[in-house]
């Protein structure tokens, strides 16, 4: 069985937040961090979890390989949770993450001009439309994927030469769309139980 394509969790389980448009789950671990797990590793963990529950055991003793989403990445993950049922809004969260990443961690030609004010205005407008407050100075905002290991500076190289505002926005939207497709298809995000309050 190809767990890459077939994993979707188990319907009716209390830890399942959504299976679509993204796979979001409540994690049983004591860590307060949000973690992002490749779907293959998540499928293996879900099988382990089910066996533990069937045997009356605690499934928190094992954690799959993962990316830890903290700082700005946590903000992005919380935005995805807030808009858990709306793919378009989730992709907008990723676009906003790209804008913030460019401002904080990826210098570009356009951000060395007065047009940087327009970019900050774009961030404020998108944040308001998503109903989400972003904290400043948090390093990275774009959730990682395994493919980044082969080209860790891809995003920085993309934005560095951009000097036209519309090209800048278009490039970031395209990058956000590609990243969202990968995250939706290939990853599961587990949230600590204390984040349940964000859904109320």
Q: What is the pLDDT of residues 101-146, one digit of tens each?
A: 999 888 888 888 899 999 999 999 999 999 887 765 577 999 999 9
Two structure tokens written together for 170: 């278009």
What pLDDT is recorded for position 7?
A: 57
Q: What is the mean pLDDT of residues 37-64?
A: 94
What pLDDT is recorded for position 93?
A: 97
159 CB-near residues (< 8 Å, 6+ apart): 102, 106, 108, 168, 171, 172
Residue 69 has pLDDT above 80, yes or no: yes
HSE value, Cβ hemisphere, 13 Å, CA-based, for 177: 6
What pLDDT is recorded for position 12?
A: 39
Report the C-alpha gap between 177 and 103 in whole angstroms: 19
* Confidence band, pLDDT 50/70/90 cuts, at residue 32: confident
Mean pLDDT score of the chain:
90
Report the C-alpha gap between 153 and 23 in whole angstroms: 27
Report the C-alpha gap between 145 and 186 in whole angstroms: 9
């Amino acid at each position: 069985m190809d767990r890459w394509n077939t994993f979707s969790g188990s319907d009716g389980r209390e830890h399942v937040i959504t299976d679509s448009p993204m796979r979001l789950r409540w994690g049983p671990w004591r860590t307060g961090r949000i973690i992002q797990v490749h779907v293959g590793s998540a499928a293996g963990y879900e099988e382990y979890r089910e066996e533990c529950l069937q045997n009356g055991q605690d499934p928190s003793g094992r954690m799959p390989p993962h990316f830890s989403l903290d700082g700005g990445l946590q903000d992005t993950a919380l935005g995805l949770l807030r808009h858990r049922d709306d793919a378009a809004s989730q992709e907008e969260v990723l676009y906003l993450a790209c804008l913030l990443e460019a401002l904080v961690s990826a210098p570009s030609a356009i951000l060395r001009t007065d047009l940087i004010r327009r970019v900050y205005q774009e961030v404020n407008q998108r944040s308001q439309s998503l109903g989400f407050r972003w904290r400043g100075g948090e390093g990275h905002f774009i959730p990682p994927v395994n493919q980044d290991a082969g080209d860790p500076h891809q995003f920085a190289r993309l934005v560095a030469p951009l000097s036209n505002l519309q090209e800048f926005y278009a490039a970031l939207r395209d990058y956000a769309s590609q990243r969202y497709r990968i995250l939706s298809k290939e990853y599961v995000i587990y949230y600590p139980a204390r984040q349940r309050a964000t859904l109320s």
